[in-house]
Structure 1
Amino acid sequence: MARSGAALGLGDAALGREVAAFEYPVRAGGNVIYERLVLRDAERDYIRIQQRNNVRAIITTYNLLLKDLSSSVVAENLALRLLTPLKVLFGESEIKGLRSQYVKRVISRIIDDVVGTYELAAINLRIPPSYFLVKWVKSKIAILPHLSRLFWWLDTAGQGHEDYMRAVLDALVEELDEACRLGMLVKADGFYSLNPDISLESVQSRKRLKIKGSLRPPLTDIRSNPRLSLDVLRLVLSEVQQIEISGLSELDPENLLYVPTARGLQPVSHDEPLLEALRTHLSLEKANAEFRIERRGSLLNSTFLLRIYVDGSLHERLFVKKYLSWSDIKWIAAKLWALPLRNFYLMPGTRMGNELFFLSYLRERGFRVPEIVYVSWKEKALVEGAIEAMTLTEAWTKMRASLGADLLERATTEIGRLLAEIHGAGIVLGDCKPDNFLLRPERGEYWVVDLEQASLRGSQSWDLSELVLYMGHYLSGEDAEKYASLITRGYLEIGRRDVVEKALNSAFQIAMLPWTPIWTQVSMFKSISAELNKR
């Protein structure tokens, strides 16, 4: 129900009929006062500032606020006021509708930003409602600092922080819950996350979910309306004069974003060095803990074994993997060798995001994979629980004699079967070396590791061919043929025949030539063909 402008002391018939108004708290001179935004129905867009009876009011048109909240026509100088703990004076349905539209846009753009930043790992993140608010507001006031006078209460030390936050978050939660009902998000324990059923394909193909672009508002060209340009300038200048020092600059939205680990939820943002952050995450701050690091693999490798000793006794073994940049020789070489067959991911963030996602994805489907213990986005490092087991390569080389022929054959067949099960779950490993399968065959336990090149699309036949031919670097003659037969036999127990047939592609042989001699490859392919002919 509309009230007259005179009732607010802001009457001016030339400015159009009042349709809605709300007030919101601002901080000025160390005090909290209330300011008003009054919306009018007028053909020409404008912004006016009035000060009467110690009440500051911004008068503008309904249409201008609508355009600002949907397309940032005045850099959201007006729209951001909808994210304050506002109190409607009149026009409740109009204000509620405008706020709902704006909050929907905020949610959509924040999700888009999370996907762009964390890629596949975005699906694993747990997002509280406060993240949407803080992330959006921080991105705006970074270039519109005068608007910090509207959001001082975001600082936990700010006056009225809890009450004001609750009022705004209630509006956010209403729209977030609606996004859940529409299937865009899922909710659990007060956190929100992307719905993998509708998000996975979009993220995997590197497409954004909704609106593309930066969170920062565009510097909209309003030169076609010079009067409105002057109005915006007056508004900004009037508020620049009222800026006060606040703690907002120290507020890090990423501290509100969490990644699940085997040790509980971990904030994504950590500025501490990796070992210090681990000490905190593992609750070892007060313990007499010593960290001992051992490099694993070759000099070009970026993996380490971390042993933690408490009071002189071994407390825990962890595996640390640091994702190197595009100059990592291993992946440059891999991309060059297999370029026609497989698009290897090179960027550290992409590879770490892949690994995080597929570790969770496979675990949820019953596969044995390492536990996620800690993630450092700053250092591009992943800490996993160390698995005391041999690799398939070790089983066929230095551990072969101790295993015995029967156990080795059974274990190799099981690895072939495991790869078929992974393919049956719709996953392509991409980097399917025998080194990436760990086993404790005497217990019948098998793991898949090193998932940074995994994907939901690509050639399953490449996986199988690589798993077979890679081992040809270490084996020859009858041993190579036997290994190829056992892997193929296990795969065919539950896997698709056409995948095995396509694994005989000569292009795969060419890709593996820098590693495995052609004569060994030929004999291994003959063994695969022989297994196919048995069925």
Structure 2
Amino acid sequence: MTQFLSEGLKENVLSICKHIAGFHKIVAACFYGPRVCGYADEKSDIHVLLLLSSYRTGLKCYVKPSNGVNVFILAVDQRIFERDVEQGWLGEFVAEKVTVPYEPLINEKYLRRREVKVKRRVIWELCENIVLGSPELCHELLIKPEYFMYESMMRRARLFPPITYSFLNMLRRDLRRKNVELMMNGYLKAINELVEENQITFSNGHVKITQRLINTIRNQKPRFPVFLRSIQRTAFLHVLNILPKMMAPLIQDQQTFMKSHQQVEAEELVFRLEEPEKYLLMPTPLGLVPLSDKTTIEDFVRKTVPSGTTLDIKIKQMGGVLNSVYLLRFRKNHEEQKVVVKKFKDWLGFKWFPLSLWTLGTKTFAVSGRTRLEREYAINQFLQGHGFPVPKVLHISHQERLIFEDFIEGENMVKVIKRIISSKEKATDEAALVREVGRKIAEAHRLGVAFGDCKPENIIIAKDEKTYFVDLEQATRDGNQVWDVAEFLYYSGHYVFPIFPSDSAELIAKEFIRGYLEAGGKKETVKRAASARYTKVFSVFTPPHVVLAISNICKKMGGG
């Protein structure tokens, strides 16, 4: 029995419910609010959700006295309630009563089923938001089940701030464990249903979105109703402000909260809720990192170096016009460690404008720092999982837009290209390296990845002769693979002086394409790289005779 819900009180409430129902059939009823969540006192109102069959009024509030306290009863038509459960039709104002702790009074089985149903929809919608908002990161994220509960609370609180008091009261330190457990029971059942349908996986306490669900979400038609639902929810919840009876319980929750938090400003309330991003995790060699992580460069070194060791940090800028890239040096176990740190800034203003003009109609680049950070991390994890040579991601700070990666010792591919161009001989060794680059790009393409920025300067030939791709911030699954081929070839050609013949550029193109086709690259991809759509982009800085020569080789070797 929940505190302050005695059997006698339940009998009185049941009698009141029957009186309100009249000739309407009672479908279900439950208690919710402070008496269920544990922050009530003996004088607190009693809150009841009453579901009625064929209730023409639709939605009505009743306040009835009982033994010195008020019984606040929210009477709802069954069909309206179920539409709110299935579609959020009333902004989940009614369905929300079974997403928080409640105690059934009538027809517990019905209420539990609807609880799981609404929580299943919440999970689906939040997974949908993750997939659409973070199209690459969604493949790698590990999600703690609590995320769905806290994110749902956060969204409702931002949409309708007065409800924040209720959430803060039920998550009070002495009540949190019990109430979280009560709420999570329904979420876990909903998760298990989605697992059985192969929409998500659930192991070791973490949810992961399956490729099947990702494909379903991406392939569905644009759902304007998602936007309309937001308007509908907002409109309905604003209506509550003019309905005193509906607002009364929330005002009481506000008074309860303010008794122990008199100095708290109303604007700060939402920030007192649990941060949902703490429950979205990114795997790294140093452990799981939450999206809420705010690790700085110095914090990273402190986590990496044994405690008690004096930090000797050296930071050197490595370049980067649109990003800040640093080489971080520090000592660990008496050995020097080298780590590349990238700070992903948003590409705004005039820095970005020339680049967008350059590729207009051919290639679209990701502009947001957050998007590029997520791509760098997610594609890196994916390729590394398939044995592809990329720098290991050591840590990621989503909030600070920082990523920490292994420093790859080796020679930049630009130097190899320049040696071929300046060599008076055949440059056999260098040609073999170009062929290997072609192979590696083909391997990535076979995995469904397009690099998006395949310039030679983003490729390192390591001391062990492995070919590393070190800049993946524009990489995507199912991206424009033709761009990768075109960019490497035509950009390599721009190192040829205008007065030089195109022989060296032709050699580079032939060796690259041979390697690309040997590793399973498509001839059609090579052929399309010869089209004006791509040659026009690089004709700005690559000599025309070089562009023409490379284009002709692409046509010939691509089967054109």
Alpha carbons 2:452, 2:476 under 8 Å: kept: yes
Give the 3 Å change call, closer, same or farther, for CA 48–450 of structure 1 in structure 2: same
Are 2:464 and 1:438 equivalent residues in the alignment? no
Q: Percent identity?
A: 22
1:202 Cα shift? 4.5
Give the 3 Å change call, closer, same or farther, for CA 377–278 of structure 1 in structure 2: same
> Aligned partners of 2:361 and 2:400: how far apart in 1?
32
Aligned residue for 2:30? 22
1:191 Cα shift? 0.6
Are 2:275 and 1:267 equivalent residues in the alignment? no
Match of 1:287 among 298, 302, 309: 309
1:239 Cα shift? 4.1
Alpha carbons 1:26, 1:150 under 8 Å: kept: no
Are 2:56 and 1:43 equivalent residues in the alignment? yes
Amino acid across the alignment from 2:100: T
> Aligned partners of 1:324 and 1:204: how far apart in 2?
31
- 3-state secondary structure, aligned to 2:390: coil
Q: TM-score, normalised by structure 2?
A: 0.81
Alpha carbons 2:393, 2:404 under 8 Å: kept: yes
Counterparts in 2 of 1:375-394, with a 5 A limit? 375-394=396-415
Aligned residue for 1:131? 147
1:175 Cα shift? 0.2
Aligned residue for 2:277? 254
Q: TM-score, normalised by structure 1?
A: 0.85
1:416 Cα shift? 0.9
More moved, 62-71 vs 118-127: 62-71
More moved, 180-189 vs 410-419: 180-189
Segments ≥4 residues shifted beyond 6 Å: 29-34, 204-210, 213-217, 225-228, 398-401
Give the 3 Å change call, closer, same or farther, for CA 118–301 of structure 1 in structure 2: closer
1:347 Cα shift? 2.1
Aligned residue for 1:232? 246
Counterparts in 2 of 1:277-316, with a 5 A limit? 277-279=299-301, 281-282=303-304, 286-297=308-319, 301-310=323-332, 313-316=334-337
Are 2:390 and 1:369 equivalent residues in the alignment? yes
Aligned residue for 1:482? 507
Aligned residue for 1:13? 19
Match of 1:184 among 176, 199, 210: 199
More moved, 520-529 vs 415-424: 520-529
| CA deviation map 1:154-188 (0-9, x unaligned) | 35xx1133233223212111101211222222222
Counterparts in 2 of 1:345-356, with a 5 A limit? 345-356=366-377
RMSD: 3.7
Give the 3 Å change call, closer, same or farther, for CA 166–213 of structure 1 in structure 2: farther
Alpha carbons 1:47, 1:58 under 8 Å: kept: yes
Aligned residue for 1:108? 124
| CA deviation map 1:399-423 (0-9, x unaligned) | 999xx93432222111111112222
- 3-state secondary structure, aligned to 2:347: coil
Match of 1:449 among 461, 470, 477: 470
More moved, 175-184 vs 290-299: 290-299
More moved, 289-298 vs 55-64: 55-64
> Aligned partners of 1:513 and 1:376: how far apart in 2?
39
> Aligned partners of 2:522 and 2:39: how far apart in 1?
70
| CA deviation map 1:37-83 (0-9, x unaligned) | 24142332212234524666432225354454445565544433312
Are 2:435 and 1:413 equivalent residues in the alignment? yes
Match of 2:516 among 461, 482, 491: 491
Match of 2:180 among 165, 168, 174: 165
Amino acid across the alignment from 1:131: Y
| CA deviation map 1:270-292 (0-9, x unaligned) | 345x2244245536564322322
- 3-state secondary structure, aligned to 2:505: helix
Amino acid across the alignment from 1:335: S
Amino acid across the alignment from 2:278: N
Are 2:381 and 1:360 equivalent residues in the alignment? yes
> Aligned partners of 1:282 and 1:506: how far apart in 2?
50
- 3-state secondary structure, aligned to 1:289: coil
Amino acid across the alignment from 1:302: S
Q: Which runs of 5+ in 2 are unaligned?
A: 1-7, 262-268
Match of 2:533 among 504, 507, 530: 507
Give the 3 Å change call, closer, same or farther, for CA 50–69 of structure 1 in structure 2: farther
Aligned residue for 2:444? 422
> Aligned partners of 2:42 and 2:408: how far apart in 1?
58
| CA deviation map 1:76-113 (0-9, x unaligned) | 44433312333323311221122122212221232233
1:32 Cα shift? 12
- 3-state secondary structure, aligned to 2:482: helix
Alpha carbons 1:202, 1:209 under 8 Å: kept: no
- 3-state secondary structure, aligned to 1:354: helix
Aligned residue for 1:461? 482
Amino acid across the alignment from 1:505: S
Match of 2:72 among 33, 58, 68: 58
- 3-state secondary structure, aligned to 1:342: coil
